């Protein structure tokens, strides 16, 4: 789940604690033991014995709907000066993605999250969710290395290749 408003409001810890009480767990986007990057989280069940798949799916579906509602309400509550600060942050991220000469994976995922929130709030209108989602996969180190005609051999070469791919994809 993409939860930037809950993350910015420092409510992820509380949410994870609440989920734990009902047999669910919240992890970073790379699964068990990973930290969250780009405000992306996995939510899954912890308890597998004694409950049916249908019950598990129903619980997950209900919880995801509740989390989506909390995220939506927090996004709608961003107004005034806070919205202007967020707009500036999003547009700076857009500029970095469109013009950077080098981008690490960590830096990309940070700007990815800002742009994705910007799309949701109507701040960014010239980048689609599909394009951004494709970049999330295509800029992963292994994917980038395997798909490059000139295989990057160092982190710096890979960071330059990542920035070039992003600029090309975003039309800059």
Domain residue limits at 30 = 4-76
pLDDT given for residue 34 in this prediction: 54
| pTM of structure | 0.85
- Say how many domains are in the chain: 2
Vertex 164 angle, CA 163 and 165, to 5°: 90
Helices (H), the chain: 4-8, 12-21, 53-76, 80-99, 105-120, 129-138, 141-147, 155-169
**pLDDT per residue as tens digits for the range 65-105:** 999 999 999 999 999 999 999 999 999 999 999 999 999 99
State the chain's mean pLDDT as an integer. 91
The CB density around residue 102, as the number of other CB atoms within 10 Å, is: 15
Average pLDDT over every residue of 131-147? 93
Give φ, ψ of 27 to 5 degrees: -130, 170
What confidence category does residue 148 fall into, taking pLDDT thresholds of 50, 70 and 90? confident
Buried b (16+ CB within 10 A) or exposed e, 67-79: beeebeebbeebe
Residue 50 has pLDDT above 60, yes or no: yes
Question: What letter would DSSP give residue 125?
Answer: -
Distance CA 27, CA 34 (A): 7
- Domain's final residue, options 54, 76, 98: 76
Q: What local confidence, expressed as pLDDT, does residue 46 receive? A: 83
- Of 76, 95, 129, which closes a domain? 76
> Three-class SS of residue 28?
strand
- Give pLDDT, residue 32: 60
15 CA to centre of own chain: 17
Contact in structure between 30 and 44 (CB atoms under 8 Å): no
Q: Do 42 and 117 fall within a single domain? A: no
Lowest mean pLDDT among 21-25, 27-31, 120-124, 149-153: 27-31
Who wins on pLDDT, 108 or 172?
108
In this predicted model, what pLDDT tens digit does every residue of 73-84 receive, in sequence order?
A: 999 999 999 999
State the average pLDDT over residues 102-116.
Answer: 95
If asked whether residues 84 and 155 sit together in one domain, one would say: yes
- 38 dihedral zone (left: phi>0; alpha: psi -120 to 50; beta): left
Residues 152 and 137 in one domain: yes
As a whole-number percent, the residues of the chain with pLDDT over 70 amount to 96
């Amino acid at each position: 789940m993409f939860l930037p408003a809950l993350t910015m409001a420092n409510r992820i810890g509380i949410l994870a604690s609440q989920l734990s009480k009902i047999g669910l767990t919240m992890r970073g986007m790379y699964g068990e033991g990973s930290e969250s990057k780009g405000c992306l989280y996995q939510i899954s069940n912890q308890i597998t014995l004694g409950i049916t798949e249908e019950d598990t799916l129903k619980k997950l579906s209900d919880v995801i709907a509740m989390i989506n509602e909390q995220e939506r309400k927090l996004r709608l509550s961003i107004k005034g000066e806070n919205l202007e600060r967020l707009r500036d942050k999003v547009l700076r991220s857009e500029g970095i993605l469109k013009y950077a000469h080098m981008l690490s994976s960590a830096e990309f995922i940070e700007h990815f999250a800002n742009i994705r929130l910007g799309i949701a709030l109507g701040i960014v209108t010239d980048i689609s969710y599909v394009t951004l989602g494709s970049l999330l996969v295509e800029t992963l180190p292994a994917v980038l290395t395997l798909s490059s005609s000139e295989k990057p051999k160092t982190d710096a070469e890979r960071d330059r290749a990542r920035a070039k791919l992003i600029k090309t994809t975003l039309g800059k």
